[in-house]
Structure formats: structure tokens, C-alpha cells
Structure 1
Amino acid sequence: MSNNITVEKYGPWAVIAGGSEGVGASFADQLAAAGLNLVLLARKPGPLEETAEAVRRTHGVEVRTLSVDLTEPGATKQIAELTEDVEVGLLVFNAGANTYGHEFVTGDLDRFGKVIELNINAQLALVQLFGAPMKERRRGGLLLVGSLAGFLGSAQISIYAAVKAFCRIFAEGLWVEMREHDVDVLEFVLGVTRTPAMARAGLNMDMPGLHVSEPEDVARQALAALGNGPVQVAEGNEKGVEIRSGVDRTKLVLGAYEASKKMLPPSSK
């Protein structure tokens, strides 16, 4: 492996929330290649089991799976029971839900609530579940997958952008808290990434000048950057962060809106 992932630092088990496809499946493959056993969490049992079997066959590690909706009551309890007999040295929180193409005031409030529940409350619950033992052992890592959307309010994804902004600030504070206990914390910020979820959303990823990352590349970058928290950005998106952190935010918000309209599927415009 080209990163610094070792069983001694981040093993012997890693938990990947959102570990069935796309970036999550790439995390699973690369962590298993480093010798870590895996616990894969995702809603859809089909892709979940396919990824688990591929990792077992390719790398010979042990893989446990749990088909679970992290927004449902009792989800954290199920995960705790599944992992109570193993030592988890790495949590990768890659689960996420988006609101592409839905304006807030006319949207489904329950659906927005699910986005908040998954991206914030479920993440907090799993960080606490696995982070506390890491603190006691004085080793481990908490890798939270963020989004470029969290740097700027955006039309039709306003809730998603807001929760991702929360997650970035949370990662910064968590990094400060855990660094003196030798636990690495990183939010790794993704831009547009060619995942099955993005394809299902119908987004146009072939716009001229649009930087599109591949899942295996961003997973590799994230694992290599795990010790360099609190926040790192996927290659090719640095300029986007610099622009979105500018001073004239009114102009930025309007500019981002015009750009986003070119990506949204026709049904949402």
C-alpha cells in the first residue's frame, strides 16, 4: 500500500459505514489489502454482500456485514452488538444522503430530516461508539467523508450543504480533542466523484471543465492523508475550496447556483 495504513495503528478491524459501493467499496478493498478485517454497513444487502465476497476472495481477510438503515432507532445498538467481540481501530464514515433537485420550502420535510439524521446524528453516534475505546487504547483513526458542498450554501441541496458544513466544523473540534490521545481524525472532502449514487441522481458529470474524481483515487488519497487532519481535500478540488472560502459570498452563492443548474437532471430544473 502507498499509504500509512497498518494493522498495528488502525487494526485489527475497520468499520465502514456506507461500505457497499463506490467510494465505500474502494475503502473496503484498500483497507483489506493492508490486512485489516472489515465490518461493512449499508442499506442494500445485495451490493453489500457482493463487496464483502469480493474482498474476502481477493485479500483473504474476515468480513462481517450488516444491512442497516442508520437513521432507524436501534441501528447503533445493532452495530455495537456486531462488533462487541472485536477491536475496531478505524471508523470510516462514508454513509450519506443527498437532496439534489429539491427546494426546501416545497420539499418533503421528513426526507430532509432523514438527511440530517444520517449525516449528523448517525455519524456522531458511531464516532462516540468507536472513538471512546480508541481514546482509551491511545491509537486508531476516525475518517469522516465530507463534501465540497459544505463550503457554500447551494440551491436545491441547501440541507445537504448545511449538514456537510456542520460535519467539517465537528471534525476540526474532534481532531483537537483526540490528537493528544494519539487518535487520528480527518474529514476528507470530496468534489464530484463518479459513484453509482451520482449516476442514479442523473447528474451531468460531463460538463466541460468539471473535475470528476474516481472512487479508488479518492479512497487512496483519504487513507494516505489520515494522519494529516483535521481537513484535507481530494486532489483537483483545492481551487474550488479556495474560491468558496472567498469574501464576496453573495456573488459566490449566485455563481454556484448558475453552475449547478447545468448539472441537475432536467426533471429538477
Structure 2
Amino acid sequence: MIEKDYYGPWAVIAGGSEGVGPAYARLLAEAGIGVVLIARKPGPLEETAAAVRAAGGEARTIAVDLLADDALEKIRAVTDGLDVGLFVFNAGAGSYAGEFVTSDLDAVRRTVDLNIACRLTLVHHFGARLKARGRGGILMMGSMNGYLGAPQISFYGAAKAFGRIFAEGLWLELAPHGVHVLELVPGGIRTPALGRLGFDLDDLPFPAAEPADVAREGLAHLADGPVWVTEGNAETARRQSGPDRAALLRAAYTGGRRVTAAAHRPTVPASRMEVPR
């Protein structure tokens, strides 16, 4: 599924403790690639590492908040001596929602900084190493929310839109150096992040993929960048693109007809969303 000689012998996964991160780790371990897992919470991080080791893979962990000033320093202390062939940016899941002008601005800034500033810092570091190496890959998790603005997560969608455009430019820059760049754009995924937004993971009001399926598709299409929309979501991406943004927004949200992870906030029923005419 994934070439060890090209993307190994080590992969670094930022956001490796839950959701799609552990799925990437297990699949890479099955391919004989060692994984360095980065996450904020030591407990879930070690659980993922233990599962990788139990399956015969090699795993190292870095418990650090990516927003901390010394995050890159701590990451480099573990990874500088490793031959890293793949960097996966899986951090930045939306766990805060709210109308922007009445929201907690610090929480908004954390969401934006995690999705943009941390992405830039880590891709800048590992991208330079991969360019000098002459082969490898960068896989960044995107979101359908980056295609069309949505109430309650305007800032999150904007950060995800940045990620897609960034991946496209980076793909052009690094392709001549043998480095594959891919932004993987999934729809809903059954992850703990949805639970933190108030959803019942056993009774979601929208289709949601399993993390392992999303991770498998992403790794299978590393060389098919700059953007890969996961199975079943291509038509939505097409429908949410186009120059007449007002018409697209009205079609999607007028009358609260759309119920998705992007549009839904548990304390604000979709029927109360108002779209200007």
C-alpha cells in the first residue's frame, strides 16, 4: 500500500493519539515504517504507541502542546536523528464552535493557530528535510468545511480553506524535488472530536466514515496530490465550489435544510440559522 523505501523508514504524525492519527500509525507500522506520535495528552498517546508496538511496529512518543513555544524544540530532540520520510499533519480537529462575534476569542485563536501557525512551523521544518532528502511525502488533513463557509464555525472553515491552498502551492514547489504533497479532504469522520461538539457518535445525523478507512485512502493516494477528496464527497466539493458564493450559501443554509458536522452546533438548532437574501 505504501512504499517503505520512499516514505520510510520513519514517519512523524502530529495529532497521533486519537481519531485518524492512530489509524495512520497502525497502517504505517504494518508497512514496516516506524512512527513518531505527537499529541498533547500523554495517556492516549501511550495507548496508541502500545498498540503499534503490540502489532510489531516501532513507535516513539512526544507529549507536547503544539501551541507551546518550545514545541518544535521538543519535536526536534526526538526526530533530528531519524531518517523521516513522511510527515502527517493530523492536528486541528474542530472542537470549538460558536457565532464568531459572541465567541471566546481565545478559543478561536487557538483553533486558527493550531490549523495554520502550527501547520506552517512543522511543514517548514520537515518539508526542508524532505526536500534535501530528495524523496518522501507530506500529508495534511483537510476538511469539507474548507470549501464553503458555515455558521458557528466560520473561523474553522477559513483555517481549513487556508490549508487546501497552502497544499496546492507546496505541491508545486516540492514536486521537482521528489516530495509528494497531499491534502486529504474527508467528510464527517467518527472521531472523539465530534463527541466534544455534543454529537452522539452512535447516532450521528450525517454520514461519517471510520478513521481506518480515511487513513487507508489517504496513504493510498499520497502521490495523487495536491488534493484528494475522500470517497463519496467529490460531488459535494464540486457543488460547494464556484464564483457565486452568495447563491451557494443560500442554497446550502436557507431554512436550515443542511444538517452536517460543519453546520450543527448542539445549542443552536439549524432551523434558527439565518441567511441574508
Please give the range of the TM-score, normalised by the shorter of the 2 chains. Answer: over 0.9
State whether structure 2 residue 190 is matched by structure 1 residue 181. no
Tell me what 2:272 maps to: none
Whether the 8 Å CA contact 1:80–1:129 is kept in 2: the answer is no
Shift of 1:17: 0.5
Whether the 8 Å CA contact 1:99–1:112 is kept in 2: the answer is no
Tell me what 1:55 maps to: 52
State whether structure 2 residue 213 is matched by structure 1 residue 217. yes
Tell me what 2:43 maps to: 46
Whether the 8 Å CA contact 2:187–2:233 is kept in 1: the answer is yes
Using the size of structure 1 for normalisation, the TM-score is 0.93
Q: 54, 60, 66: which is aligned to 1:64?
A: 60
Q: Structure 1 pair 191/259, CA: closer, same or farther in 2 (3 Å)?
A: farther
Distance in 1, Cα, partners of 2:119 & 2:140 = 8
Whether the 8 Å CA contact 2:152–2:265 is kept in 1: the answer is no
Tell me what 1:103 maps to: 99
Distance in 2, Cα, partners of 1:17 & 1:215 = 15
Using the size of structure 2 for normalisation, the TM-score is 0.90
Cα RMSD over matched residues?
Answer: 1.7
Q: 18, 23, 36: which is aligned to 1:21?
A: 18
Shift of 1:261: 5.5
Tell me what 1:240 maps to: 236
State whether structure 2 residue 266 is matched by structure 1 residue 266. yes
Q: Structure 1 pair 239/14, CA: closer, same or farther in 2 (3 Å)?
A: same
Whether the 8 Å CA contact 2:187–2:209 is kept in 1: the answer is yes
Whether the 8 Å CA contact 1:13–1:88 is kept in 2: the answer is yes
Shift of 1:228: 0.4
Which structure 2 residues correspond to residues 64-103 of structure 1 after superposition, within 5 A?
64-98=60-94, 100-103=96-99
> Residue deviations 1:166-217, cap 9 Å, x none?
0100000000000000100000001111111112212367566x33211000
The count of aligned residue pairs is: 264
State whether structure 2 residue 131 is matched by structure 1 residue 135. yes
Tell me what 1:226 maps to: 222
Whether the 8 Å CA contact 2:98–2:265 is kept in 1: the answer is no
Unpaired runs of 5+ residues, structure 1, are: none
Unpaired runs of 5+ residues, structure 2, are: 270-277
**SS across alignment from 1:143:** strand
Q: Structure 1 pair 63/187, CA: closer, same or farther in 2 (3 Å)?
A: same
Distance in 2, Cα, partners of 1:99 & 1:107 = 13
> Residue deviations 1:101-157, cap 9 Å, x none?
301101111111111111011111111111111111110100000000000111100
Distance in 1, Cα, partners of 2:260 & 2:9 = 45
1:243 maps to amino acid: R
Runs of 4+ in structure 1 displaced over 6 angstroms?
A: none
Shift of 1:247: 4.3
Q: Structure 1 pair 158/55, CA: closer, same or farther in 2 (3 Å)?
A: same
1:158 maps to amino acid: S
State whether structure 2 residue 30 is matched by structure 1 residue 33. yes
**SS across alignment from 1:125:** helix
1:57 maps to amino acid: A
Q: Structure 1 pair 260/110, CA: closer, same or farther in 2 (3 Å)?
A: farther
